[in-house]
Amino acid sequence: MRDVSEPLTMTCRRCRRVLRGDPALELGVRTSRYDRLVFRCDACEVGYSNATSEADRIEITATPAGNVPVEVHAGLTDALGASINVVARPGKAWKFCSANSEDAATWTVIRALAMADQLDRVAVALGVGHLTGGEPARVLLWGAPAPGSNGAAADAAALVEQISRDLGEKDDRRSEPDVVVMWDDLVVVIEAKLGSGNDRQSENLDRFDRYLRRPELWSAAPDEIKAVGFYELVRNWVIAWELAERSRSGSRRLRSCSLFSAISLGKLSSNVNSTNGCASREASFAGYRLSRVCDSETEIRRSSLSACKRPAPRPSS
């Protein structure tokens, strides 16, 4: 047993200062508040999770902005507050502060690509870069328009909300795709993972039912899809298809283009460097299609990406 008279110490991983633990707090106690972390470095504005072993402690910044490069600070607070899963909003900012945050990696990569006018690289990584022409890309982050978006992104967000409503989701518990990027001829939905696998559900599998109403989207029976347990991926896949199909209508109905629903379901990693004062980010998608998430490598969606292809219009007479 540790001698309580001996102060707890650890080394800050940023400035290498020796930190003294808050004597009023205990290690081994999980918290969702920065001021309840045993170890905090005031100089660096970072703390460390309350894991008993120093090696297991995760760096946690005092604010969400502290966990991303300064070049992408603008708009972050508003974006976190606008996420369409209302119930999850209070904890979203706290989780964003973790060094293991997938949302922080997503924000950094997608915002940097948007600022550099290189969002087409997302489509290139998926092998559909040739479909990124037309109007500038519309970007949704966690279901809401990205900062600085135009009215077209707001329209896309409204469509996602309508899809959620039609699926019977609760207004304050909507499915929240990490990223949606839309061009005139292409819809890409990204579920980002940073060093973790996809969560599998083994209980309350009737939750899948509302997302399995269209058998033409799947090549496996509903019970087989439920047994695999990829609830989050199934929801995103259905939303991607619905978004692609519904985007065909309206003012763009007669446009000569092909529309695909694509989804990257794998690991998203970012490599952040600073060159001449500007942030340079490389997004690496080690993704795999939903058709390959089963252990048996069995294809569980029936339609290929090209099944969403819109037929070319008839030549004008």
At 92-148, the pLDDT tens digits run: 999 999 999 999 999 999 999 999 999 998 888 878 888 887 788 999 999 999 998
- According to the model, what pLDDT value does residue 250 have? 44
Residue 54 pLDDT > 80, yes or no? yes
Please give the pLDDT value at position 248: 66
**Residues 6+ away with beta carbon under 8 Å from 272:** 69, 108, 279, 280, 281
CB 222 within 8 A of CB 212: yes
What is the distance between the alpha carbons of residues 207 and 230, in angstroms, rounded to a whole number? 11
- pLDDT of residue 241 exceeding 90, the answer is no
Query: Of 202, 190, 269, whose CA–CA distance to 233 is shortest?
Result: 190
Percent of the chain with pLDDT over 90: 55
- Tell me the pLDDT tens digit for each residue of 214-232: 988 887 889 999 998 989 8
For residue 174, which of 85, 93, 237, 243 has the smallest C-alpha distance? 85
Token look-up 């799947």 returns 218
Average pLDDT rounded to a whole number, residues 275-299: 26
Res. 309 pLDDT band, cuts 50 70 90: very low
For the chain, what is the mean pLDDT? 78
Would the pLDDT of 33 be above 80? Answer: yes
Give CA–CA dist 94/260, Å, rounded. 35
